[in-house]
Amino acid sequence: MSKRRIVVPIAVAALVVSAVAAISPTSTAAPPTTKPVVVQLAAGDSALLRLAVPNRAMIDTLVAQGADLTSARADGSGYLVDGVFTGAELAALQAQGAQVTQVIERPGDGQSRYQASVAAEQARIAAGLRPKVAGANIPDTAAANTDTLHFLQAYWWTSGGQTFVGTQVATTATDDPNAEITVSWRTADGTTGSYQLQRFVDDNEYQYHFANPQPVPAQPVQLTATSSLGGTANATPSKWPGVSPPPTPTGYQKDFISAYMNPEDVKARIKRLAKQYPNLVDVINLPNQTQGYRRTATAYLGDPATAAVIVESVKFGDQGMNGVQVKSVDPGAANKPMKASYKDRVLTVSLATDAGGAIVSTTDDVAAFIAAKYPQTFHAYVRNGQSGKVMAVSGPTRMTDGLMASAGVPRKPWTVQALRIGVHRDGSRIGVLAYSQEHAREWATPLVTLEFAERLLANYATDPETHQMLEDVDVFVIPTVNVDGANYSFNDYNFQRKNMDDYCTGANRDPANRNRWGVDVNRNYDVGSFFDGYVGGSANCLGETASGTAELSEPESRNVIWLAQQHPNIKFAMNVHSYGGYFMWPPGAYKADGRITLPRPSIDESAQFLAAARQIVSAIAGERGTVTWPAQTGPVCDVLYSAAGNSADELYYEDGIFAWDFEVGNDLWNAQTQQWDGVGFQPAYPEAHGEAMEYASGLVQLVRVAQQYAAANS
Ligand SMILES: [Zn+2]
């Protein structure tokens, strides 16, 4: 799903004085502090930042401006917002009181981390080591009626040696924005402490009060919630997820991922797996080729700072249009009409003059003239804000598609591939689909699905349980759904989320927008879509959640649907995204004005979703102790945001598939600052590796869930 909260699910709690955990004197933990970080960021550069912002209005403004927000959570004195910001945007926000609390990623980080991971892999091979591939608060002065409180969630768990408590509490005073709820906890040895909850309102509907997981010195044995309106409730917290991780058999092989993998690397891995395990693998070429890592070529004719026309090739740059030159000339005589010639790969525009010999052609005149004279070869648009300006003599300037990848990265349309894994690949066995990298910048996600695939294949011969899994289950894996966007993310712009299809028109086709074009693949599906009126998509071709020109306008989304519909035995699916540490299922979208969600699953199905989720969360935790928060385990639209036209909803409502979403890359507890730190889309490789290992374990557990389901329903 990832990472753009169209609806920021946080209440108007900005006036709450402090909701940081008030740890009692008997506890050793220090109170959290939000420490500002000094950041040098040029106006035009971008970085993924975690900001502390003082109020909700700033978030609303950012959303309205189309900011690339990835998350927002209430925190103590205000809100913590993750997003990709330019230096100019940051300066404006800082002037309004925002502070940077964490620099998660800078533009060059991804590339250098990719290269570092590959170099480490090469060094290991050079050292003779076997490559791993073998194997608010205003006191309520109004008359306050006593409210009633209910614990919706009361859980504790331990991760990385630290114990946490996670709570959600609902008040019957749903319409009172000043109702304040405090939770106090007690451990077996009598240590106590307390923390404040935040009111959570989504789309103007009260949901509950909550807090991010709070550190506690030991297992809490008693929780008491107290409302400022007088209500109280008690709960005995239970252990989350409350299921033991599956044992790892002796000799079980894993860790087949040794560096970040770009689309070429993924393709090579698919090829090797098919060759190495011919009896267990089919490679499926998905039918809808992508546009390819390619763009039209553009150049400015005139002075781009004051008066320019964007000249754009009709064909892609790699189709002979890179290097074509454009220039404007003075005819050197009075009363000349505009003329243009295109020969020897040079477009020359001779500008019109008046009786005194002065140039009179405007940007609009020139753009219209080029477009009319060479409709098969060039498009031309006036730059934004430069209409009616008189053109100057300029050029020659070379047209370019601006793509930075080496020639080794193919510019052609790309065939997206899926792996089909199992002993009986004939539709007779229950099917499980794992697919990843709908969002280009989420580099850890193909590592998750490929590690999962290879664990099944490598252990088939030696581990009886894996052997039985591949007897019982037909596994489908699409490691990289959005290949073109991934190539752009690896080679051009780290933070690319969308694909490379540019549906902008006119001045929005200015190459200055090159990092903003594309369609959000996971907003392009046809259930609960933007086109149906659901929240969380956009018609703005430059928006981070651009939904495309129509439902399923994109080959990437059509490929996922094709695979599911061609194989009706698929009954379970996992859509792997990053980051944030979520585990979610439908409904994933609602309509505004009443928050009308897609239909809720039945009670039985909801129970199935949650029971399976607990098993899978426990398997993830078994790898390195990462616990996905109970508050981040549940229906998408409840725990994250409304995501109109996402693929999990499509698969569930249209095809009857139990369809989940992972957001891998859980926040990490920082014991020093007593804060949760975000990991980002492209963390230093060891973190991405850890995410791949733990979430691959989650996918293996999903296969067990499918086995259990098939056995129970046969
Ligand atoms: Zn995503």
Q: What is the 3-state secondary structure (H, E, C) of 202-264?
A: ECCEEEEEECCCEEECCCEEEEEEEECCCCEEEECCEECCCCCCCCCCCCCCCCCCCCCCCHH
Question: What integer pLDDT is reported at residue 596 of this predicted model?
Answer: 87
Strand order in the sheet with 220-227: 22-23, 192-196, 181-187, 220-227, 232-235
Distance 283 CA to ligand 1 centre (A): 25
Question: What integer pLDDT is reported at residue 128 of this predicted model?
Answer: 64
**Closest to 26 (Cα-Cα) out of 180, 188, 158:** 188
Question: What integer pLDDT is reported at residue 7 of this predicted model?
Answer: 33
Sign, CA torsion 638/644/648/652: positive
| Residue spans of the chain under pLDDT 70 | 1-35, 63-66, 74-77, 128-145
Distance 669 CA to ligand 1 centre (A): 22
Q: Are the beta carbons of 584 and 1 closer than 8 angstroms?
A: yes
Distance 27 CA to ligand 1 centre (A): 38
Question: What integer pLDDT is reported at residue 697 of this predicted model?
Answer: 97
Distance 503 CA to ligand 1 centre (A): 21
Distance 438 CA to ligand 1 centre (A): 6
Distance 269 CA to ligand 1 centre (A): 22
Question: What integer pLDDT is reported at residue 609 of this predicted model?
Answer: 86
Measure the CA–CA gap between 528 and 94, rounded to whole angstroms: 37
Question: What integer pLDDT is reported at residue 193 of this predicted model?
Answer: 96
pTM of the full structure:
0.87
Question: What integer pLDDT is reported at residue 310 of this predicted model?
Answer: 98
Distance 425 CA to ligand 1 centre (A): 29
At 333-377, the pLDDT tens digits run 999 999 999 999 999 999 999 999 999 999 999 999 999 999 999
Distance 76 CA to ligand 1 centre (A): 27
Distance 17 CA to ligand 1 centre (A): 34
Distance 289 CA to ligand 1 centre (A): 21
- Read off the amino acid at residue 260: Y
Distance 681 CA to ligand 1 centre (A): 9
Assigned token pair, 635: 């229906």
Distance 664 CA to ligand 1 centre (A): 10
